[in-house]
Amino acid sequence: MTELTLTPAQTAERCSAVLDELERAVIGQRQALTLVLAGILASAHILLEDLPGLGKTLTARSFARVLGLRFARIQFTPDLLPSDVVGAPLYDQRSGEMVFRPGPVFTQLLLADEINRTPPKTQAALLEAMGEGQVSVDGQTRALPSPFVVLATANPIEYEGTYDLPEAQLDRFGLRLRFGYLSSGDEVSMLRRRLERAAPQITLDPVCGPEELLAMRQSLELVEVSPDLLDYVVALIGATREHPQVQVGASPRGGLFILQLARGFAVLNGRDYVVPDDIKTVGVPALGHRITLRPELWTGKVSADDVIARILASVPVPRTDPAVALRR
């Protein structure tokens, strides 16, 4: 069978159709949906962190449906075990042998719902899956389906009954997003649509499938990045390590994610080259969860996202036109 290939322009067309279909269910969040889709194109896992009832779970289910991916959900609870995530060997009475029972992680889009409501030991069960697309149980390594995407939801850490995500786990997420409340107009539109369809849920149509999504991901490799933008990304990462309010700055993985997310965002905006605004748009979602503020700021009103926003505003932006530079 011939492998499917797509150009960035073809990927942009399909992404536009994906977002249009998603907006039938998730109203008033086009920018957030665009960033999530850019993350999926960039082979990143996404953390949706916000208050209950703002559409995090609906977003994950909708993406699975529209992208035509196999879907599984894990409801993280304090008593969840690692074997409940990755699976475990069970004794088969008929054969007299131990047989591996795959866990829900063996899917294409995994909704890790309220991931911060389970202890770190169980959260860590996802580390290998998210980092390498495989799990190891009883000395045997098993590959996960491709594509494999984790969309995790988390409620704010100040809520009772939640646990901090380990830093190694946070670093596996390509971006962290917060939806926020809808505008009054969008909220009225949501209520009106509910009345018009006369049903609790809306049924979305698949726009593409796993093979097409893999081709869309591969098309990002055709998106050009000028050398001065690479310097700009490195300067941003370096600034997180030197900022006086930051105890631990972003790792090199942060730069890799910014690069791929910016390429994905460029494609979603109909370009086959990255501009500085692509990097600035993905900067806060890509880096806000990768830095650790100094302890004296933990009880204050300073957030990591605020610090990243100030860094983005202070680091000089390349003035050359990437479209012109890449044609030379």
pLDDT digits (tens, 9 = 90+) for 126-150: 888 998 999 988 888 999 999 999 9
Write out pLDDT tens, residues 74-107: 999 889 999 999 998 888 888 878 888 899 999 9
Is residue 43 over pLDDT 90?
yes
Mean pLDDT of 202-219: 94
Query: What confidence tier does 286 reach under pLDDT thresholds 50, 70, 90?
Result: very high
Listing DSSP states for 231-263 in one string gives: HHHHHHHHHHHH-TTEEE---HHHHHHHHHHHH
In this structure, which topology does domain 1-219 adopt according to CATH?
A: Rossmann fold (3.40.50)
CB atoms within 10 A of CB 269: 15
Query: Given this model, what pLDDT does residue 98 score?
Result: 82
Query: Given this model, what pLDDT does residue 160 score?
Result: 63
Q: Report CA dihedral (316, 322, 327, 328) to the nearest 10 degrees.
A: 0
Is residue 230 over pLDDT 80?
yes
Query: Given this model, what pLDDT does residue 96 score?
Result: 78
Is residue 158 over pLDDT 60?
no
Confidence (pTM): 0.90
Is residue 319 over pLDDT 90?
no
CB atoms within 10 A of CB 65: 20
Is residue 293 over pLDDT 50?
yes
Is residue 190 over pLDDT 90?
no
User: Parallel, antiparallel, or unpaired for β 149-154 and 109-113?
Assistant: parallel
Q: What percent of the chain is predicted at pLDDT more than 90?
A: 60
Return the CATH number of the domain spanning residue range 223-328: 1.10.8.80
The Cα 326–Cα 317 span in angstroms is: 17
Is residue 202 over pLDDT 90?
no
Mean pLDDT of 153-162: 70
Read off the DSSP letter of residue 224: B
Query: Given this model, what pLDDT does residue 1 score?
Result: 46
Is residue 299 over pLDDT 80?
no
Is residue 32 over pLDDT 70?
yes
Find residue 74's DSSP bridge partners.
Answer: 112
Residue length, the chain?
A: 328
Is residue 304 over pLDDT 60?
yes
Burial, 306: exposed, middle or buried (Cβ in 10 Å; 0-12, 13-18, 19+)?
Answer: middle
Lowest mean pLDDT among 61-65, 88-92, 127-131, 323-327: 323-327
Query: What confidence tier does 3 reach under pLDDT thresholds 50, 70, 90?
Result: confident
User: Where is pLDDT greater, at 317 or 124?
Assistant: 317
Per-residue burial over 124-148, b if 16 or more Cβ lie within 10 Å, else e, is ebbebbbeeeebebeeeeeebeebb
Give domain limits for the chain.
Answer: 1-219, 223-328
